[in-house]
Amino acid sequence: MAEVTETVEKQVKQREPLFSKKNRKLITDPLDDSNPITVQVLGICSALAITVKLYPALVMSLSVIFVMGAGNVIISLLRNLIPNRIRIIVQLVVVASLVILVDQVLKAFVYDISKELSVFVGLIITNCIIMGRFEAFALANGPWKSFLDGMGNAFGYAWILIAVAFFRELLGSGTLFGYPVLEKIGVYSVGYENNGLMLLPPMALITVGIIIWVQRARNTKLIEEN
């Protein structure tokens, strides 16, 4: 009898390695199989609004990565202290504090970008991805796992944002990070014109749609059965 309990204790005490298969999945899953934008279709609003140029999209991505990672860890640390009935308010306070922090840093160091992103930095607070991960993951898991989950989801969001912004800036303005790529290649001299539609929000939606299309064609797991 005593032997049995010992082995059980041993199993419990045996610590999971930091990057066990399960933990790695926390990061890799949101990049593809359960991508917050293309599969869960969350956080679309900012994906449409700030993907006209690459630079703002990159800054936005970094902001979300920070808020997501830090927020998930904080909520996870607090998870046993938060009364269930007011958990949403606590989550909001945490994410709002982090967003204000980000906003102040942006205003101090990259004022132009901060102005360009305008209300969308503040709107990170209401980004469904963040609140969703707090609710669904950080409240029920330890800090390290929550951190990995936060990183995974934030990067899943970030790469879509940057991919969309890449195509929109390249085809819409002919530049990448403000560098006139197409002009240097010389396509304008043969009659090429920038595509004004790429600068309008509908094209961001269509670009996201095309990414979803390509993703589903490649990853047949995602196709729903009728």
Partner 1 sequence: MNIFKNILNSVKPHFEKGGKWEKLYPVYDGFATFLFVPKHTTHSGAHIRDGIDLKRTMITVVLALVPALLFGMWNVGYQHYKALGETVGFWDQFLFGAVKVLPMVVVSYAVGLGVEFAFCVIKKHQINEGYLVTGMLIPLIMPVDIPLWMVALSCIFAVVIGKEVFGGTGMNILNPALTARAFAFFAYPTYMSGDKVWINTSTQAGQSVVDGYSGATALGDLAVKGETSLQPIDMFLGTIPGSIGETSTVAILIGAVMLLWTGIGSWRIMLSALLGGTAMGLIFNWFAPYAISPEQQAFMAVPFWQHLIMGGFAFGVVFMATDPVSASQTFRGKWIYGFLAGFLGVMIRVFNPAYPEGIMLAILFMNVMAPLIDHYVIEANVKRRKKRLQVKVA
Work out whether 198 is an interface residue with partner 1 (CB under 8 A). yes
Min dist CB 44 to partner 1, Å, is 18
Judged by CB under 8 A, the stretch of 7-15, 32-40, 65-73, 190-198 that binds partner 1 is 190-198
Task: Give CA–CA dist 100/92, Å, rounded.
Answer: 12
Work out whether 186 is an interface residue with partner 1 (CB under 8 A). no
Return the residue of 195, 201, 215, 216 that touches partner 1, per CB under 8 A.
195
- Contacts of 105-111 spanning 24+ positions with Cβ under 8 A: 106/59, 106/63, 110/59
Binding to partner 1, residues 202-221 (CB under 8 A): 206, 209, 213
Cβ-count burial of 191 within 10 angstroms (0-12 exposed, 13-18 middle, 19+ buried)?
Answer: exposed
Instruction: Say which residues have a Cβ less than 8 Å from residue 53's Cβ, sequence separation at least 6.
Output: 116, 165, 168, 169, 173, 178
Judged by CB under 8 A, the stretch of 37-45, 66-74, 82-90, 195-203 that binds partner 1 is 195-203
Min dist CB 193 to partner 1, Å, is 6
Return the residue of 41, 86, 197, 214 that touches partner 1, per CB under 8 A.
197
SS3 label, residue 105: helix
| 126 CB-side CA count, 13 A | 7
Q: What is the token pair recorded at 177? A: 């990070």
Q: What is the token pair recorded at 211? A: 């990414």
Min dist CB 201 to partner 1, Å, is 11
Judged by CB under 8 A, the stretch of 13-21, 57-65, 78-86, 198-206 that binds partner 1 is 198-206
Cβ atoms within 10 Å of 95's Cβ, excluding its own = 23
Judged by CB under 8 A, the stretch of 58-66, 75-83, 122-130, 188-196 that binds partner 1 is 188-196
Min dist CB 50 to partner 1, Å, is 20
Contacting positions for partner 1 (CB under 8 A): 191-193, 195-198, 200, 206, 209, 213
